[in-house]
Structure 1
């Protein structure tokens, strides 16, 4: 793994500053002044044809006049001049540029932006901005901004779409002695945006935690890819203002009304393994807490306090954040009763009373440490007359240091001057400390959310992996496309039921009737009691217009209900097209709960699935949880558990527990449906009745739209599912039975064993160094991949003990140009020369072609004759590198399967 392609942007050895000047308060003058003031040690080249000297530095008239090609161009000239500057930079070989200039907001500015971006791409240049504040890399003295702020070195990285927010954060950080590894203002992000910058930060060894400020997202797939990559390596905390644009579409379904863009954004952040803050203070508090490397198993908190008030404040905030405060076990109560005064609180919070000594505090903390009910302990102190804040802090720090497997401990010493030394002592001993009980509880909540979201990050759901159902995808798609061909936005009731049946979702039958006679025949055929519902493509919520009649027990009731209902709807909705009614049997389930399962299409993140309470009051109850597809069993059960109705799914007021597996099954099938059918933009199943026997959908509605015919499979989703369809079983030329499949996160142990079983020579030939084992970061990168922009196929077989082992792996990663990829392959020594490598490489090439890639590249040590021979047999062109003949470049042109 060589240097990241953005390394020279953020660690440049030389910089040209276009628009450098002595004019006070100009962008170019401030940018150059900051570079000089920050102590940047690289070469600086001010460029301005009007001056020989700028800020006492030699100034050059043009780029061509420079003695070398700079690694970075900083541009602070009027917008109209920038395309020519980019053209000159591209011709000279400048690889990166930061555009500080504004002026791209109107139509003319947008044309200029498109022109400069196209020119940059033609030369392989990368652009940051325009309208960017710039970047800071304090460790190398690089302050390439026009801000008045400086920054000290540290291990926090900040990426912000807002330059103003950057200056506010920098000002706050300077006053609070917070340092940064990198600060990036993305500006208008004409080229580089969050995704690629996050990808760089994921492997940047100076960065331990990442802070993001987001206003909007242009490319959800690229954003999610970079965010997931970074969050696998280090904590990522986001602060987002406003809401994502909801678009002009009205919410025509229950799901559309329930799901807001901010809800979907939260779901995306959780799936990516990051967490969200809501203030700048929370942003840094979360980063400070997460950087301590504290691990949690759950979110059960014990509170130890010497004052009832602070304990109540902490309890209230915990309740608001969903933090559990379990009561001590009887054994713990016995220990506390033996060591605490008679009037202690006898519960959680553990109030040790105002005159508590350090010994009393420690006895309470130790009891909570040994109680399996608690995952962490919050210790609160108010500086009362008989309290010694520093002494208690010292005793607590000693306890943490000398207690094996000590639970995470958070502290909040309330006050200022009397507790300042204690807070400093905690900070010096890396014990999280806060000024208020609420802030400490919020920090614990962040930590809990982070570890829960990291579990979500590890989930890599596939589609179509449910053995009990084989979906009729082709049949469902034909039905939908027929409706689209008739220019209908909604499927009919019978079409909707057919699509749900195609994916194995149980739903009551329905018969369409255009007149009362047909309705009576349908009712008699289905058996009484029945319901009738108005059938109109213009009426989404039938109940709202009186378009539903329930529990009809005879043909006479059906005839009367048909006449009255159709007449009533025509009167109050004269412009609606009334096709008649649908007749459905009444579903009898005395112990059933009414649920809702739905899908709505977010304009940025694509389809989002919702689950919650069903019925006619869903918008009022607002009881729902949301997740992005694809789902698996873990994610589906988490969705259910996060709703209020989940508490009613167990034994409840004489009703037996619901068959939760059946609900999970429906969620998984809906996930498959929206993954396989991008034509579906909205879906409602409401109500979905669930009882001890299973589930039954009673009413459903599907909205459809023609998808982009140029899109690749799953392109409409923010998260690419695990491509289980690529799994295949083959035999090598020697008859060895192997399975070739994409790698998964749970393959980490097998991947470690595979690397350990390679000979030293094989490891050297693969990694071009004497690697002995994979670091945790490398293991994460190798097994938790983004199937949208990379692929890794492993070959497995059974050993003599019938254990599945990995015997080979091949992978490619798409290059920044988006049309080429870099590949690698390695086979375990004792399975070489059996044709394994050829089978793997064929799979890799086929997949790269299916993704529309045009070229596959790689670098091979010239002594690796076996790999060079394999490459030659597949048609790769072999070219020894001029500057390093020990390495041979290999390149294979690919024919894209999807033109354009």
Structure 2
């Protein structure tokens, strides 16, 4: 039995109705029905228009309810004001999915927005899934489905294209045909009032015809759903994305076009890296990447070697590498020695590898072969300029033959036109990316290497920091609740540092003096020298306002500084409320680097962690990298490496390298803070001084706000943290301890071995077939989950120090957001020992706590043991109306 995806009526309809069909060549309805006929739709096609009896020989009916066949899909192209009533008729006729191409909705003003809401409400009432409105439609070449008003269709292929812009879809389709690029799906979302990126991505994950996915994004509505689906897709298929609105003007245009919010571009970029996605910036890059996908690139890393017969083009390529932070590979001594054996004495002896203007096909082939074998090289760019004694086509033939067995990316740049045209054509036929100039060739390699890096980021699932001293979350909450009860959102420095201390981040202890005498007493208690700073909730830049004094070595200096600070602040900020003057020890770290660690709240993706250079130059140099929490050590190191200041954290001049573990510790603890304290809006630790002995937060400001109660404690996060709090232990009567915990990506080998050992009967009941072991794509799908829309628990025992999986259960939330589908399987030797009931108890309780209303199951009718088991759990069973070999079960989760 093959389970159908719930969007099957949209993507694989057996019957389609065109509402507004016409034979007028200038009408959308006319283009629509011609496209369906020319594409050779394999199902039943009906026209609906009260003005015609037939349209291009297709039977035409007055209304949807007159069609003598239940339709899976309708495509509507009539005026916006007619569509709510048409949608109601579709509901009465049992239609399952609808595409609304018409414009005149929310993009046109308040009246259109009201029509859009009405249309959506009617569709939801009748359980019709809606694509659009104001979209181009959908194309499925394999099925002969072209439900768009684009001029022309698409070739069959393996690329799934999802776009918020219909115009962009038409441009890509126009380019694709002459370039022999085919598609499995082309989907234009339009306003995406119902079906959005998330659900389309989830469908393409399961679609065997789709091998890679392209997205054009103007804005997103549901960050959690978007990230969940994006990460799920990128785990099994290459995903490439263009996002517009990178600058304020573009952002405003995108908002007016789609009605969706667009977050800060740096944050969006961080989200894409974390999702394992390749980000592109131009249509040219998209087309180049499409060709690269068809060449089945094998990304290895980002170290590029350049082989050229001209020094100038090689330098051009190297410059572009520097722009994009692509390191030039350092050739090994062995490779240099090998090249010395056959290259002229005047060759460059480095990278770029200049093999001189008289290079022939053999010299190119031998050089590229030697460079590809170098372990320091992750890819090769081969450049040719058509010089008098060279045969560009012969060189192309040699490289094509060599590339067949290469395990690293090879990109070519044949510069010129007439003399190199045939060579470029041969590269295109062989599926080897080729360019006219070096810069776009380097850009393509940067995208491929970014894919390699981002895939490593994708695989990171931050686990609990349970090996560290636990934070005092309760004391941190009390600090926040006290401030909010006093109607304060800006925590003072002492409160901010109290939160850091609660999460074990080292701080410079701070006290507040409210008189000059008190300042002297406190300074003597702390120990001279001290730092004094104004304590005011409305003054962010204390130094600029004259509110800071450093390295005060005497009590007389402390007394004078107190008065000077108050007088200086009164001049610069006469209306600022002042709590007093904060006093803390002067941190003397001669080898210290001043850094900044912060948190901002993005309107789309929620909390974002920032890192970069600190001190007073933070806003001048703007050296900042951002990452989405939660972090783990790998992600923290990647965040650090993404800044320019990272190069100064190692041994630098006379200073020893910093204690990198201490810096990573601070980032991990800040990540934990924003996960566990949803009230936090911003954190600004500046400076965080780090040297060879550790890190200390010298200054900190935290802003908080009230939050609405949520069933999910991590509802404020775009990426759900690993739910370590759901781990439990269960001891068997014979003393065997079983750990039941959420599944992790690292469990892939455990899962494969577990399934391999199942009996054929158990495999059949769980997977509906008797496969010997899990395919890699399925392993990824089962072990790398998002913990939000799905949950899986594994039962683990320790056998002689080795973890062994003995059972697994899981649920996935249905599109309605109210119910979930579950599955469970237990090792054959653990049957009848209560493990299945224990696992299901944990799963049911988790689904109930998440606010889900129902748990559904699909069971084979002949699986009597399972039917008896779920009945005992309270499931109500019924027959599947479409398949008598299957029974359906429903368990109500809420009272």
TM-score (norm 2): 0.96
- Residue 46 of structure 1 is matched in structure 2 by 47
Secondary structure in structure 1 of the residue aligned to 2:616: coil
Matched residues in 2 for 1:580 and 1:237: separation? Answer: 54
- Residue 482 of structure 1 is matched in structure 2 by 482
- Residue 252 of structure 1 is matched in structure 2 by none
- 1:878 matches 2:877: yes
- Residue 766 of structure 1 is matched in structure 2 by 766
- Candidates 218, 225, 228, aligned match of 1:225: 228
- Residue 824 of structure 1 is matched in structure 2 by 823
> Shift of residue 735 of structure 1?
4.6
Assess, with a 3 A threshold, how the Cα gap between structure 1 residues 80 and 758 changes in structure 2: closer, same or farther: same
Matched residues in 2 for 1:246 and 1:793: separation? Answer: 46
- Residue 518 of structure 2 is matched in structure 1 by 518
- 1:323 matches 2:326: yes
- Residue 566 of structure 2 is matched in structure 1 by 566
> Shift of residue 734 of structure 1?
5.6
Assess, with a 3 A threshold, how the Cα gap between structure 1 residues 116 and 491 changes in structure 2: closer, same or farther: same
Matched residues in 1 for 2:812 and 2:27: separation? Answer: 42
Assess, with a 3 A threshold, how the Cα gap between structure 1 residues 560 and 782 changes in structure 2: closer, same or farther: same
Matched residues in 1 for 2:400 and 2:30: separation? Answer: 50
Assess, with a 3 A threshold, how the Cα gap between structure 1 residues 3 and 416 changes in structure 2: closer, same or farther: farther
> Shift of residue 399 of structure 1?
2.5
- Candidates 278, 289, 293, aligned match of 2:292: 289
Farther off after superposition, 358-367 or 610-619: 358-367
| 8 A Cα contact 2:792 2:810, kept in partner | yes
- Residue 698 of structure 1 is matched in structure 2 by 698
- Candidates 178, 192, 209, aligned match of 1:206: 209
- 1:393 matches 2:396: yes
Secondary structure in structure 1 of the residue aligned to 2:544: helix
| 8 A Cα contact 2:65 2:90, kept in partner | no
| 8 A Cα contact 1:160 1:185, kept in partner | yes
Matched residues in 2 for 1:665 and 1:226: separation? Answer: 30
| 8 A Cα contact 2:278 2:450, kept in partner | yes
Q: How does 1:112-131 map to 2 (within 5 A)?
A: 112-131=115-134
> Shift of residue 291 of structure 1?
4.2
- Residue 259 of structure 2 is matched in structure 1 by none
Please give the per-residue CA displacement for 1:866-900, whole angstroms capped at 9, x wherever unaligned. 2112211111112233443332211100017xxxx
> Shift of residue 340 of structure 1?
1.0
Matched residues in 2 for 1:149 and 1:733: separation? Answer: 69
- Residue 298 of structure 1 is matched in structure 2 by 301
> Shift of residue 245 of structure 1?
7.8
Secondary structure in structure 2 of the residue aligned to 1:545: coil
Q: How does 1:859-874 map to 2 (within 5 A)?
A: 859-874=858-873
- 1:164 matches 2:163: no
- Residue 433 of structure 1 is matched in structure 2 by 434
- Residue 254 of structure 2 is matched in structure 1 by none
Cα RMSD after superposing both structures: 1.9
| 8 A Cα contact 1:570 1:578, kept in partner | no
- Residue 258 of structure 2 is matched in structure 1 by none
- Residue 687 of structure 1 is matched in structure 2 by 687
> Shift of residue 772 of structure 1?
2.3
> Shift of residue 172 of structure 1?
2.1
> Shift of residue 281 of structure 1?
1.1
- Candidates 269, 273, 276, aligned match of 1:273: 276
> Shift of residue 628 of structure 1?
0.3
> Shift of residue 431 of structure 1?
2.9
Matched residues in 1 for 2:518 and 2:741: separation? Answer: 54
Matched residues in 2 for 1:244 and 1:440: separation? Answer: 26
Q: Runs (4+) of structure 1 moved beyond 4 Å? A: 244-248
| 8 A Cα contact 1:18 1:47, kept in partner | yes
Matched residues in 2 for 1:378 and 1:247: separation? Answer: 34
| 8 A Cα contact 2:853 2:893, kept in partner | yes
> Shift of residue 694 of structure 1?
0.4
Matched residues in 1 for 2:222 and 2:407: separation? Answer: 43
> Shift of residue 466 of structure 1?
4.1
> Shift of residue 307 of structure 1?
1.1
> Shift of residue 78 of structure 1?
1.8
| 8 A Cα contact 2:360 2:391, kept in partner | yes
Matched residues in 2 for 1:883 and 1:352: separation? Answer: 69
Assess, with a 3 A threshold, how the Cα gap between structure 1 residues 381 and 263 changes in structure 2: closer, same or farther: same
Matched residues in 1 for 2:128 and 2:80: separation? Answer: 18
- Residue 94 of structure 2 is matched in structure 1 by 93
> Shift of residue 68 of structure 1?
0.6
- Residue 424 of structure 2 is matched in structure 1 by 423
- 1:853 matches 2:852: yes
Matched residues in 2 for 1:145 and 1:607: separation? Answer: 39
Matched residues in 1 for 2:338 and 2:882: separation? Answer: 72
Matched residues in 1 for 2:480 and 2:882: separation? Answer: 58
| 8 A Cα contact 2:292 2:432, kept in partner | no
Matched residues in 2 for 1:291 and 1:785: separation? Answer: 28
Matched residues in 2 for 1:668 and 1:224: separation? Answer: 21
> Shift of residue 140 of structure 1?
2.0
Farther off after superposition, 830-839 or 557-566: 557-566
Secondary structure in structure 1 of the residue aligned to 2:884: coil
Matched residues in 2 for 1:406 and 1:497: separation? Answer: 52
Q: How does 1:59-458 map to 2 (within 5 A)?
A: 59-105=60-106, 106-243=109-246, 261-401=264-404, 403=405, 406-458=407-459
Matched residues in 2 for 1:71 and 1:576: separation? Answer: 65
Please give the per-residue CA displacement for 1:345-374, whole angstroms capped at 9, x wherever unaligned. 121111111111111112212321332221
> Shift of residue 118 of structure 1?
2.0
Farther off after superposition, 859-868 or 24-33: 24-33
> Shift of residue 536 of structure 1?
1.1
- Residue 780 of structure 1 is matched in structure 2 by 780
Assess, with a 3 A threshold, how the Cα gap between structure 1 residues 407 and 712 changes in structure 2: closer, same or farther: closer
Matched residues in 1 for 2:595 and 2:234: separation? Answer: 34
Matched residues in 2 for 1:862 and 1:245: separation? Answer: 58
Please give the per-residue CA displacement for 1:805-854, whole angstroms capped at 9, x wherever unaligned. 11111111111111111111111111111111011110110111111111
Farther off after superposition, 563-572 or 420-429: 420-429
> Shift of residue 733 of structure 1?
5.4
TM-score (norm 1): 0.95
- Residue 553 of structure 1 is matched in structure 2 by 553
> Shift of residue 764 of structure 1?
0.7
| 8 A Cα contact 2:263 2:604, kept in partner | no
Please give the per-residue CA displacement for 1:684-712, whole angstroms capped at 9, x wherever unaligned. 10000001110011000000111122362
| 8 A Cα contact 1:157 1:207, kept in partner | yes
| 8 A Cα contact 1:755 1:763, kept in partner | yes
Please give the per-residue CA displacement for 1:126-153, whole angstroms capped at 9, x wherever unaligned. 1000111111112222211122242222
Matched residues in 1 for 2:278 and 2:571: separation? Answer: 52
Please give the per-residue CA displacement for 1:519-567, whole angstroms capped at 9, x wherever unaligned. 2222122111111111111111111211111111222212211212211
| 8 A Cα contact 1:14 1:72, kept in partner | yes
- Residue 10 of structure 1 is matched in structure 2 by 11
Assess, with a 3 A threshold, how the Cα gap between structure 1 residues 210 and 116 changes in structure 2: closer, same or farther: same
Secondary structure in structure 1 of the residue aligned to 2:779: helix
> Shift of residue 454 of structure 1?
0.5
Secondary structure in structure 1 of the residue aligned to 2:883: coil
Secondary structure in structure 2 of the residue aligned to 1:797: strand
| 8 A Cα contact 1:209 1:291, kept in partner | no
Structure 1 runs not aligned, ≥5 long: 249-258
